[in-house]
Chain A
Amino acid sequence: DAGITQSPRHKVTETGTPVTLRCHQTENHRYMYWYRQDPGHGLRLIHYSYGVKDTDKGEVSDGYSVSRSKTEDFLLTLESATSSQTSVYFCAISDDRGPISNSPLHFGNGTRLTVT
């Protein structure tokens, strides 16, 4: 699994509560990503990071924030969880994603989040 650990693996939370998901990598890769996967939508990019303290928004970033204070950790925070954020969240890493790069993504095994 390319040295990627997501925690927790499962979480149930109530609407309006804050939630933080963690992605930890041991590969020293520069690029890290958060995706969500929902039936009928496939994988959609939430936020990504191209270095420590360097992050940017993806396709579905509303309601989410991220932080990366160390190369190995990328945190995804739902400030006030809503039922529409019930999903499976995947972290991915890559060692080289510049404009002419073709490095694949390596994914963690996901966090299943249920917001009630």
Chain B
Amino acid sequence: SQKIEQNSEALNIQEGKTATLTCNYTNYSPAYLQWYRQDPGRGPVFLLLIRENEKEKRKERLKVTFDTTLKQSLFHITASQPADSATYLCALEIPGGGADGLTFGKGTHLIIQP
């Protein structure tokens, strides 16, 4: 089965710096990968999706990269703000996975310090 590894320790970043979160996976390469944000007491919210044939995807201050050779995705937040503090989850879709094919990592807790 697919395993997903995200840094389980909290990541502390100073405001204004770039925060970089890592998502590593094992076994087969996913068809695509998604990143979600989760705030305390709330459900995850979709942020970005990147396909296996895409190297990079951007949305405002967010950037996601996808390296199928390294089996890794990096999630970057540039010019970070305290409001970016949250837990970030990556999720993988296996090829042909269909309705049940999305597997989530445990998430990385990001803290942006003013």
Residues of A within 8 A of B (CB): 1, 4, 31, 35, 40-45, 48, 50, 56, 58, 90, 92, 97-100, 102, 104-110
> How many A-B contacts at CB < 8 Å in the complex?
61
Contact call B43/A90, Cβ cutoff below 8 A: yes
What's the minimum C-beta distance from B57 to chain A, rounded to whole angstroms?
Answer: 12
Q: Which of chain B's residues have a CB closer than 8 A to the CB of A35?
A: 104
Q: Which of B43, B51, B96, B107 is the one whose CB lies under 8 Å from A102?
A: B51
Majority DSSP secondary structure for residues of B touching A = mixed
- Chain B residue total in the interface (Cβ 8 A): 27
Cβ-based interface call for B49 (8 A): yes
Q: Which of chain A's residues have a CB closer than 8 A to the CB of B46?
A: 104-106
Residues of B within 8 A of A (CB): 31-32, 34, 36, 41-46, 49, 51, 89, 91, 93, 95-102, 104-107
Q: How far is the CA of A98 from the CA of B95 in the complex (A)?
A: 10
Contact call A43/B89, Cβ cutoff below 8 A: yes
